Amino acid sequence: MAFDSTIGGAESNSYATIAELDAIFELRINSGAWTALAESEKQAYAATATMMIEAFVQWNFYKQSEDQALWWPVSIYPDEIPSAIVRAVAEQILYMLTNGDSSINPKALMKGISEVKVEGIGITFDKRFIANKLCDLIGGLINGLGVVSGSAVGGGLSVHDVLKG
């Protein structure tokens, strides 16, 4: 499957073009990981971030057409993807690149400390912590357009599980 950011397309797999994402990341701190990616990797991250947003957001509007692959465009925005959704894709990408994918970054699973020893010096990490699937900023970015599902917070699937499924 090829990368497709066509608005309302039957094969679309991203809400954002690579040019839109490059422009966002140009002004975004901590975006070095994005700029270091090859074009094909950027496309994969954009498609994956969009897929994850699609999986965990309940949108407030009806699809423009049943033939379109993604939820947007919708009935009241028939020819556009709101900039808030494009920014949400960018934030999800940054989240996955920095700490959101526990299968790539084991620190995402071990953020809590359950025990510290003074004599014998030791730290025990709480491995029960599971990283959120979606970036916390997405709920605020899409406010009024949709609602993040409770299942997007902690536990369950990683990015790779979504891709496999």
Read off the pLDDT of residues 3-46 as tens digits, 9 standing for 90 and up: 999 999 999 999 999 999 999 999 988 889 999 999 999 999 99
Asked if residue 94 belongs to a domain, the reply is yes
- The reported pLDDT for the residue numbered 61 is 94
Asked if residue 6 belongs to a domain, the reply is no
The reply to whether omega before 73 is within 30° of 0 (cis) is: yes
**pLDDT tops 50 at residue 158:** no
Number of domains the chain is built from? 1
Please indicate whether residue 118 or residue 25 has the higher confidence score (pLDDT).
25
**pLDDT tops 90 at residue 125:** no
Asked if residue 8 belongs to a domain, the reply is no
Cα–Cα distance for residue pair 91/135, rounded to 1 Å: 7
* Cα 90-64-78 angle, rounded to 5 deg: 70
pTM to 2 decimals? Answer: 0.75
What percentage of residues in the chain have a pLDDT greater than 70? 72
Please indicate whether residue 102 or residue 63 has the higher confidence score (pLDDT).
63
CB 99 within 8 A of CB 130: no
Asked if residue 22 belongs to a domain, the reply is yes
Read off the pLDDT of residues 37-69 as tens digits, 9 standing for 90 and up: 999 999 999 999 999 999 889 999 999 999 999
Q: For the chain, count helices (H), then strands (E).
A: 6, 4
Average pLDDT, the chain: 80
- The reported pLDDT for the residue numbered 143 is 93
Asked if residue 2 belongs to a domain, the reply is no
Asked if residue 29 belongs to a domain, the reply is yes
Asked if residue 13 belongs to a domain, the reply is no
SS3 at position 87: helix
Please indicate whether residue 124 or residue 60 has the higher confidence score (pLDDT).
60
Enclosing domain of residue 93: 18-164
- The reported pLDDT for the residue numbered 14 is 97
Cα–Cα distance for residue pair 52/120, rounded to 1 Å: 43
**pLDDT tops 70 at residue 111:** no
